[in-house]
Copies of this chain bind each other. A is one copy, B any other.
Amino acid sequence: MSRISYIENFEQWQTSFSFKQEVKVRFSETDMFGHLNNTITFTYFEEARMEYFKHLGLMQKWLEANDDAIIVVADLQCDYLQQVFFDEHLYVHVKAAKIGTSSVDLHYMITREDGSVCYTGRGAIVQISKATGRSLPWAEEVKAVLGQFQEVE
């Protein structure tokens, strides 16, 4: 497996997550090659990201119809280390890797029940204004919450 650009030390990185969300591979998520279709890992990333934000108490604000702030994806990437099959139980680990003014870089690791890593990923999320489409700086308390487990940039 070629080196993954966003992971410096794989063993260290593997142990750096403290939040995980369980998912089970659905039949409709497989494809005719018999394994989990490649597009679904991003659904799992989103599922875990949302749970992570809920866990941190940040999600509610973004879901309020009257609030101007929403979060959007700036970029996403996934490295496919192993094929995954129907009915497997997976854990999607997520952490805030770097916090910017109005964005946060999230890392993802998907493991099997035996702990082996099948997918890794990362991607930045940006808070924007629904009205203007422009980025909205994090409130200090949001920054604090996101940074609890992480060095703030």
Contacts and interface: CB of A to CB of B under 8 A. Distances in A.
Interface string A67-79: 0001011111111
Contacts of A65: 34
Oligomeric state, in number of copies? Answer: 4
A47 B31 contact: no
A38 B74 CA distance: 9
Given A74-B80, A76-B77, A27 B42 contact: no
Main secondary structure of the interface of A (DSSP, over half): mixed
Contact of A46 (B38, B78, B79): B38
A37 B47 contact: no
A89 interface: no
A27 B86 CA distance: 17
A27 B54 contact: no
Given A28-B37, A32-B27, A80 B86 contact: no
